[in-house]
Structure 1
Amino acid sequence: MSEIDRTQYLIDQEPYYRPVGQEVALYEAAYGVRMPIMLKGPTGCGKTRFVEYMAWRLGRPLITVACNEDMSASDLVGRFLLDINGTKWQDGPLTVAARLGAICYLDEVVEARQDTTVVIHPLTDHRRTLPLEKKGELVHAHPDFQLVISYNPRYQSLMKDLKQSTKQRFGAIDFDYPSAEIETEIVAHEGGVEHAIAEKLVQIAHRSRNLKGHGLDEGMSTRLLVYAAQLISRGVEPRAAAQMALVRPLTDDPDMRDTLDAAVNTYL
């Protein structure tokens, strides 16, 4: 890999991340021994931003893969492609990261097929290798390579969960929505609004999270709060911004929308 290949995966500017516990120190220690890491927490709570921040902090390239149910093993490791000169091999993102010594982040890995996730096993134990069976090559991971995965355990089921043979190859860090004080700080900073507005948005979110399991699969995420704040900072009326960014994406149920709209009207 040439230097130009490496630099395109580096994060130039410090991403904003507000630590809420010992997660930064824990990750740094894990990276020191190249321990594979699993980030567990609800959607939109900051897992991806945390990985970006740590990659910047450690000065490591970061390659992110958004996993989905159609993703095959070839999408991760690579495949032969046909062009005008015949066939040529193209590395997938996991292989590129292993060669380069990057952090490879598989976002929402539980969405991928279980037969796909098996390909990461040799990279997550003492072997630290990636067999490219179609190419007949065994890639030995660069000393700086680390694998990070994330998933939302609240969505796990018998049909969609990680196998124990996969889980027990990782150290795990739990994530959740931060305390009201910290979340208000995050929303104010990222959304560009005053503290008082951010505080009201967080109060609405807490009301929605109390409805989880009582008509809602998931409450409002910190990400959605930032979206609402950004709309408000652009001059959108606060209630309209909250309905657009917080209520409408969350549910189509008329009664639940009325309940959430009432919370919006109460706080805004």
Structure 2
Amino acid sequence: MRTTQSFNIAQTFGVNAPKGLTIEGFADDGHPQIPVLTPYVFRQGLSSVLAFLRQAGGDAFLLTGPTGSGKTSLICQVAARLHWPVQSVACHGRMELSDLVGQFVLCEGSTRFVHGPLAIALREGHLLILNEIDLMDPAELAGLNDVIEGQPLVIAQNGGEVIRPNPTFRVFATGNTAGAGDPTGLYQGVLRQNLALLDRFRVLQVGYLSPDDELGVLETCAPSLPREVARLMITVANEIRRLFLGEGEQGAELTVTLSTRTLVRWARLALTFRGAPQPIAYALEQALTARAEPEQREAIHRLAADVMGDLWSGGTAP
């Protein structure tokens, strides 16, 4: 049994919170499944995640939003600060429920049952994160319904083994859609999910960071990048996102977006190639536009050139 510990929310997460407001986590015992703590800017959705950790009430928790908006990292960085072990699974179209529960494997000439991430998380009280859940077959996911509601997991293939849920077991999921399919066609392989499963989820829409918050991220991840260059990069990123999300008059005009993840990559590459001809343009191509269609690559570069001005053809120093 792991030792619990109370954490002050304002101090632990660096947010404005009522004085004395706390949440229960665990003492740091060096558990290998505790995520690595990294700098992270916590947003409004933090309160919803913490409320779920306090009391799941027979629910699971779905975070949905555009690619690279920080859905998985939000959960992992909360867990890192509360020393809460995580079982993280990357879902895909060929995944079966048995991959989550466990299966027999051949080991040193004999077979033995190896528990999967769902069984381990349920037994040990870890967080189970199902990343890109909308890529998985809804018929397979239906096997989670009873477990989410707090029922024991019965593993028939292991002699009817029964695993009762640990009180600290929680189920999180992330997806680029909210389970109703992808009408944009941007996220290949996404499947419409079963309504009975979705009815068991609380849902949080996660968007991109505000410009000020992203500036803080760049200052942490690329501290030698001039502040003015960082601000211009963020302006470019937000304009690309606007066109990707269809917020312009003509709807979605781009099929690629510049996420916070890609923004950090762009900034770091610009510093790596500093001193070379057009380092910002070259870095943007490697970070994003080399995988865009030719017309969109040209449009993004024109947009960036308009925003960056002389920096586009020069170096990274303003």
- Helix, strand or coil at the partner of 1:55: helix
User: What aligned pairs does 1:1-268 form with structure 2 within 5 A after superposition?
Assistant: 7-11=31-35, 13-21=36-44, 23-34=45-56, 35-127=59-151, 129-135=152-158, 136-153=160-177, 156-157=181-182, 160-192=191-223, 193-212=225-244, 213-236=251-274, 237-249=279-291, 251=292, 253-266=293-306, 267=308, 268=312
Q: What is the letter of the counterpart of residue 24 of structure 1? A: L
Distance 1:246 1:199 in 2: 18
**Contact 2:142 2:194 (8 Å CA) reproduced:** no
- Helix, strand or coil at the partner of 2:66: coil
- Total equivalences in the alignment: 262
**Contact 2:121 2:127 (8 Å CA) reproduced:** yes
- Helix, strand or coil at the partner of 2:243: coil
Structure 1 consecutive aligned stretches of length 4 or more whose deviation exceeds 6 Å = none
Query: 1:76: Cα distance to partner?
Result: 1.0
User: Once the two structures are superposed, what CA deviation does each residue of 1:25-81 show, in whole Å capped at 9, x if it has no partner?
Assistant: 221111111342111111101111111111122221011111111211121111011
Cα distance, 1:2–1:70 mapped onto 2, change above 3 Å: farther
* Larger CA deviation: 200-209 vs 100-109: 200-209
Query: 1:6: Cα distance to partner?
Result: 8.0
**Contact 1:243 1:264 (8 Å CA) reproduced:** no
- Helix, strand or coil at the partner of 1:173: strand
Name structure 2 gaps, 5 residues minimum: 4-28, 184-189, 245-250, 313-318
- TM-score, normalising length from structure 1? 0.89
**Contact 1:17 1:53 (8 Å CA) reproduced:** yes
Cα distance, 1:103–1:238 mapped onto 2, change above 3 Å: same
User: Once the two structures are superposed, what CA deviation does each residue of 1:205-241 show, in whole Å capped at 9, x if it has no partner?
Assistant: 1221232254423421111101111212324412111
Cα distance, 1:196–1:246 mapped onto 2, change above 3 Å: farther
**Contact 2:92 2:135 (8 Å CA) reproduced:** yes
Query: 1:134: Cα distance to partner?
Result: 1.5
**Aligned-residue RMSD, C-alpha:** 2.4
Query: 1:247: Cα distance to partner?
Result: 1.6
- Helix, strand or coil at the partner of 2:157: coil
- Helix, strand or coil at the partner of 1:217: coil
Name structure 1 gaps, 5 residues minimum: none
- Helix, strand or coil at the partner of 1:210: helix
With a CA cutoff of 8 Å and minimum separation of 6, indicate the structure with the bigger relative contact order. Answer: 1
- Helix, strand or coil at the partner of 2:255: coil
Distance 2:198 2:256 in 1: 24
Query: 1:160: Cα distance to partner?
Result: 1.2
Structure exhibiting the larger radius of gyration computed from Cα positions: 2
- TM-score, normalising length from structure 2? 0.76
Distance 1:98 1:191 in 2: 39
Query: 1:119: Cα distance to partner?
Result: 2.1
Equivalence for 2:17 = none
- Helix, strand or coil at the partner of 1:45: coil
User: Once the two structures are superposed, what CA deviation does each residue of 1:166-187 show, in whole Å capped at 9, x if it has no partner?
Assistant: 1111112110012222222223
Higher-helix-fraction structure: 1
Q: What is the letter of the counterpart of residue 114 of structure 1? A: P
